[in-house]
Structure 1
Amino acid sequence: MANVKLAIVYYSSTGGNYQMAQWAEKAAKDVGAETKLVQVPELAPEEAIASNPLWKKHYEATKDVPEATSGDIEWADAIIFSAPTRFGTLPAQMKNFIDMQGGLWGAGKTINKVVSGMTSAQNPHGGQEATLLSLYTSMMHWGAIIAAPGYSDDSIFASGGNPYGASAAVQNGEIVEDIKGAVEHQARRTIDVAGRVVAGS
């Protein structure tokens, strides 16, 4: 799968989705994909970040992670999005990044990108499935190919059984469920599907 280029585009306020993105990147590299791990720009004001010690700590710790650009989307054969839920949908930071890709979309450059999504919330029923469905609605408009994991591996059942994508409860910045295997499987599946698309084109 060395011919597959994977962009892992994430947003994380306290670190859970960053950890998931790192797991996905390693799994993709292990099967030979070329990867870029990038974070969407932070939109929250400094005072909001400073008011939450966990948020501030993670923000400071990840300042060196490159910011996602339209060039990363255009470069990639496949994209894994990782972002927490905000009231059952994507956080403003991720939604803004997606909304800013109108130029690529208008030029037909989002068509046939293979995409998959991961998410987290404070508790297991905090809007995780709705958030991934919201992401995938946008991806349908892109003309992308959605590589949801479904129930294609036992690791999905072990991590809570979300067929739309790996999802986790995160408390105090820490993932409280055993989802590493599901994240790794989802990354490998995304690369596998993308490899078939690349080979077919």
Structure 2
Amino acid sequence: MTAVNVAIIYYSATGTVHALAKAAAEGAEKAGATVRLRKVRETAPPQAVNSNPAWAQHLKDTADIEEVTLDDLSWADAVLFGTPTRFGNVASQLKAFIDTTGGLWQQGGLTGRVLSAFTASGTPHGGQESTILALSNTFYHWGGIIVPPGYTDPIQFRTGNPYGTSHVAGSGAPGEDVLAAARHQARRVVDVTTALKAGRRAA
């Protein structure tokens, strides 16, 4: 079997996207991939973080998770990015990391990566699809191969987002259907990446 390296890179303020990232890691590992779960650095000022007890607590709870570096992108055959919505767009913390990838991109170091995205918003129409589409703009520039979950599993008809797994954080923590969708999305990424690597090797 073709070995696949998957990086799951995310930003989470209060834990929702973190939960989706962990489920995606489980799905990728179950599909046989080697996985790196990486958070991006928190760039918000301490006074902003401390103004929200859940935000401050989540920062403490995830202190043991490694922060992403460019090496994680170089290592990965496939990357799943997770971000909460920020006015229908990517969180600045994740965007700050993406903005450091210019040198790697110029060297062709991001070409041909399999890429996918997941998100969460505070309300049902809080910009989930537009946030994933905004991330796709970066993927196009990188020359990536975008793999959405689509409607490729019955779970997608229950969670309802073919663009990428998403959750309404205002309704509480992600339930089992949403977590199952994240696992499915990651498995699909691994399956496509495995086939792509095998095809390249045979060419």
Q: TM-score, normalised by structure 2?
A: 0.95
**How far is 1:176 from its partner?**
5.9
Alignment map for 1:1-201 (pairs within 5 Å): 3-159=3-159, 161-171=160-170, 174-175=173-174, 178-201=177-200
- Measure, in 1, the Cα distance between the counterparts of 2:75 and 2:31: 19
Runs (4+) off by over 3 Å: none
- Measure, in 2, the Cα distance between the counterparts of 1:32 and 1:176: 24
Letter in 2 for 1:179: V
**How far is 1:171 from its partner?**
2.8
**How far is 1:173 from its partner?**
6.3
Letter in 2 for 1:32: G
- Give a deviation string over 1:111-160, Cα, whole Å, max 9, x none: 0100100000011110000000000111000000000111111111111x
* Partners of 2:118 and 2:165 within 8 A in 1: yes
Structure 1's 177 and 167: CA in aligned 2 closer, same or farther, altered over 3 A? Answer: farther
Uncovered stretches (5+) of structure 2, i.e. residues with no partner: none
**SS of equivalent residue, structure 1 residue 85:** strand
Q: TM-score, normalised by structure 1?
A: 0.96
- Measure, in 2, the Cα distance between the counterparts of 1:126 and 1:89: 10
* Partners of 2:115 and 2:144 within 8 A in 1: yes
Letter in 2 for 1:186: Q
- Measure, in 2, the Cα distance between the counterparts of 1:172 and 1:12: 16
- Measure, in 2, the Cα distance between the counterparts of 1:157 and 1:180: 14
How many residues are matched? 200
**How far is 1:98 from its partner?**
0.9
**How far is 1:163 from its partner?**
1.1
**SS of equivalent residue, structure 1 residue 196:** helix
* Partners of 1:54 and 1:172 within 8 A in 2: no
**SS of equivalent residue, structure 1 residue 149:** coil
Q: Percent identity?
A: 46
RMSD, aligned α-carbons: 1.4
* Partners of 1:168 and 1:177 within 8 A in 2: no
- Measure, in 2, the Cα distance between the counterparts of 1:152 and 1:41: 33
Letter in 2 for 1:195: T
**SS of equivalent residue, structure 1 residue 36:** strand
